[in-house]
Amino acid sequence: MSLEKKASYILIDDYLKLEASSPSRHEYVDGQMFAMAGATRRHNIIVGNFFALLHESLRNRPCRPYVEAVKVFIKQVKAFYYPDVMVACEDLGAEGDVIEAPVLIAEVLSPSTAAIDRREKLTNYRYLESLKEYLIVRQREMIVEVHRKNESGCWSTALFRSGESFELQSLSRGTVTVPVSSLYVDAGVTDSKVHESSAGYAFSDPDVYRFTEQELVDLDY
């Protein structure tokens, strides 16, 4: 989902009107619109697997999962994003297409969005007081990063690989256990990563990233 910037400043109301009639989706950050390109089949399958798992797990609970076409609004930075997967426990009504208080957001990385998902969105999503968990899901290897906020408002990060499971703690009425491999069913990803190209990342915020230097270098989108 690569982003193409449009130069002129656009008011939020105008963005929402344009987006309602647009045949393609655009994200919005502080007066700028960014066109979103299509996703790969692998990306679609991983998103679908996660949505299906959440949909089943949240039956008879007050929270609901949403996928791709529903926007999240972050007032503090005047931003609208389309998360790959999102969970909210607010009463939206049948017609609502903007969520302001999600408890969980997940993004599946792709080459064009990896830097945005890791930096801009990781920073901006944390302005959401309601948000308790932000997941970054690798597309080409079985790795999930779980960024979690505790009761004191501090964030920590845990890394989960193939053969492991992680718990979603942001959902009402108990936790949901997710085997990492369940997100990659039929996606053509095995214990060994699908390695088409290599990308290393370096981060300086020790409160967010608590991996070893080698782990960070080894991580691929």
pLDDT digits (tens, 9 = 90+) for 46-101: 999 999 999 999 988 889 999 988 999 999 999 999 999 999 987 766 567 899 99
pLDDT digits (tens, 9 = 90+) for 111-169: 778 888 989 999 999 999 999 999 999 998 999 999 999 999 999 999 999 999 999 99
User: Is 12 exposed, middle or buried (CB count within 10 Å of its CB: 0-12, 13-18, 19+)?
Assistant: middle
Give the chain's radius of gyration (CA, Å).
Answer: 17
CATH of the domain at 50: 3.90.1570.10
Asked if residue 209 is part of any domain, the answer here is no
Q: How far apart are CA 221 and CA 218, in angstroms?
A: 10
Q: Domain total for the chain?
A: 1
Asked if residue 142 is part of any domain, the answer here is yes
Cα–Cα distances in angstroms (integers) from residue 209 to residues 30, 119, 155, 204, in the given order: 27, 11, 10, 8
Q: Is 143 helix (H, G, I), strand (E, B) or coil?
A: strand
Question: 0.85 exceeded by the pTM?
Answer: no
Asked if residue 24 is part of any domain, the answer here is no
pLDDT digits (tens, 9 = 90+) for 25-40: 999 999 999 988 777 8
**Structural domain for 87, as ranges:** 41-195
Asked if residue 101 is part of any domain, the answer here is yes
H helices, E strands: number in the chain: 5, 14
Percent of the chain as helix, strand, coil, to the nearest 5: 25, 30, 50
Q: Is 69 helix (H, G, I), strand (E, B) or coil?
A: coil
Asked if residue 35 is part of any domain, the answer here is no
Asked if residue 205 is part of any domain, the answer here is no
Asked if residue 92 is part of any domain, the answer here is yes
